[in-house]
Amino acid sequence: MQLKRADVVTGALTLLDTDGLDGLTMRKLGALLGVQAGGIYWHFTNKDALLDAMADRIVEAVTATPLTEGPWDARLAEVAHRLRRALLTHRDGARVVAGTYVLEPNTVRGGEQAMRILTDAGFPADRAGWVLFATMYYVLGHTIEEQAQQAQGDWAQRGSGLPDSELSRALDSVVRADPEERFAYGLDLLLDGVRLRFPGGRS
Amino acid sequence: MQLKRADVVTGALTLLDTDGLDGLTMRKLGALLGVQAGGIYWHFTNKDALLDAMADRIVEAVTATPLTEGPWDARLAEVAHRLRRALLTHRDGARVVAGTYVLEPNTVRGGEQAMRILTDAGFPADRAGWVLFATMYYVLGHTIEEQAQQAQGDWAQRGSGLPDSELSRALDSVVRADPEERFAYGLDLLLDGVRLRFPGGRS
DNA sequence: ACCTGAACACCGTTCAAGT
DNA sequence: ACCTGAACACCGTTCAAGT
């Protein structure tokens, strides 16, 4: 049975879950697929191209089902939540996606979808682009940190090493919070700003 | 003349500027410092510890001079702008700082400073922590992307490879904008959200 | 205390050659 | 078309031994 491009991506995501992004090597992936490391290069020109394909696979779930109807801000929030969930599906998923400025199918589809939410609501295209990217920075940053905490529990300890101070309480509040609640809070800060600038005023 | 810890950091930042984060290797750094690669390990336990120290050095400028007096939101914006400027001072500076969850002196000082701005304004400590982290995600995400564009001009082209669509216009608006203006815009979206939740109401 | 020399156990990538 | 085998040019890190 021959190896297909999609099989390589699937295997790579399996390896990602067990060994993490830093443990993902072409040799280990070859072993997992029953192939020499060099053989992978027939399917992908290099490791970065494989990572791009992995990122696009991770992001597939975001556009898999149609969005619920509703006001633009609720729809944009849903996209953000879907993206977070998709990133959390695989170990280091956020880092994988953040590291690739891809224009592969699912990534493009998701971007189009989000842009249309804003432009349909009357936002000019250029400002909509700025809003979209700002939102992406937040989602990726938040989720990268979430997964960093998951990986190494030492995150919580580091704060305790600090003398009792403003910052140590900030770390505490971040570490101890329900991640989803904290995510929604920060997203809402941003969306408030957008709502204020929305041509139709507050929604 | 013997090598001091600070000299290693300075050399590493020089190498960072010329070779980028991916080109920063212990062997090249050794050569630059006139030392074997292994010799560096007397000063730093490993490469990550060195990267932490580099991050803290990069971030030094943020707290170097006192903030201008004024309302809390203007002060927080100034911190964000200072951080962006500091990150832009060195090639891949944003990636270096984003990759390290450090509690080194300057990082702590900066965190304390930002937290105090919020708590002095009456924000409860836990929400202030959430706001602080959300802001950091935005600043780092924005600046990482800024530096990625600087590095490889192909970013602009990728958009042109796309068929004319909502997303291609989004990419255009991002690539062609004045980075500082776009940064300020997104930061203001977030600060608007914070202002709405500020105990004292809009400032 | 501070560094050398040399090794260990890896990497990503290439490419003739096989089937 | 799809992959093997083997090499090339690197990595980070360790550690006895030197000064």
DSSP A114-177: HHHHHHHTT--HHHHHHHHHHHHHHHHHHHHHHHHHHH-THHHHHHHHSPSSHHHHHHHHHHHS
pLDDT for res A163: 82
Q: Confidence band (pLDDT; 50, 70, 90) for A30? A: very high
**Chain B residue with the nearest C-alpha to that of A103:** B158
CB contact under 8 A, B174 and A130: yes
CB contact under 8 A, B197 and A189: yes
Per-residue flag: B43 CB under 7 A of strand C: yes
Residue A115 has pLDDT above 50, yes or no: yes
Interface test with B, best of A21, A131, A167, A185 (most B CBs within 10 A): A167
Distance of alpha carbon B11 from alpha carbon A201, whole angstroms: 52
Q: Confidence band (pLDDT; 50, 70, 90) for B199? A: low
- What are the pLDDT digits (tens) for B133-177? 999 999 999 999 999 988 876 666 677 777 888 888 889 889 999
Distance of alpha carbon B124 from alpha carbon B104, whole angstroms: 25
The rounded Cα B60 to chain-centroid distance in angstroms is 11
- CA B120 to C1' D14, in angstroms, rounded, equals 50
DSSP H or E stretch at residue A43? none
- What are the pLDDT digits (tens) for B16-38? 999 999 999 999 999 999 999 99
- CA B140 to C1' C19, in angstroms, rounded, equals 51
CB contact under 8 A, B173 and A129: yes
Average pLDDT over residues B89-103: 93
When CB atoms are compared, the residue of B116, B169, B189 closest to A193 is: B189
- Across A105-121, b (16+ Cβ under 10 Å) vs e yields ebbbbbbbbbbbbbbeb
CA distance A2 to chain B (A): 32
**Chain B residue with the nearest C-alpha to that of A111:** B167
| Upper half-sphere CA count for residue B182 (Cβ side, 13 Å) | 27
When CB atoms are compared, the residue of A125, A129, A169 closest to B125 is: A169
Minimum mean pLDDT range among A71-80, A97-106, B64-73:
A97-106
CB contact under 8 A, A137 and B186: yes
Residue A198 has pLDDT above 60, yes or no: yes
Task: Mention every residue, 6+ apart, whose C-beta is less than 8 A from residue A89.
Answer: A58, A61
- Across A52-84, b (16+ Cβ under 10 Å) vs e yields bbbbbbbbbbbbeeebeeeebbebbbebbbbbb
Per-residue flag: A35 CB under 7 A of strand C: no
Q: What is the DSSP letter of B5?
A: H
Residue B201 has pLDDT above 70, yes or no: no
**Chain B residue with the nearest C-alpha to that of A143:** B137
Residue A157 has pLDDT above 90, yes or no: no
Q: Please report, rounded to a whole number, the percentage of residues in chain B having pLDDT higher than 90.
A: 80
Distance of alpha carbon B59 from alpha carbon B105, whole angstroms: 10
- What are the pLDDT digits (tens) for B116-129? 999 999 999 999 99
CA distance B181 to chain A (A): 10
Question: Smallest Cα–C1' distance to nucleotide D5: which residue has it?
Answer: A36
Q: Please report, rounded to a whole number, the percentage of residues in chain B having pLDDT higher than 70.
A: 94
Better-scored residue on pLDDT, A135 or A151: A135
As a whole number, the mean pLDDT across chain A is 93
When CB atoms are compared, the residue of A127, A173, A192 closest to B193 is: A192
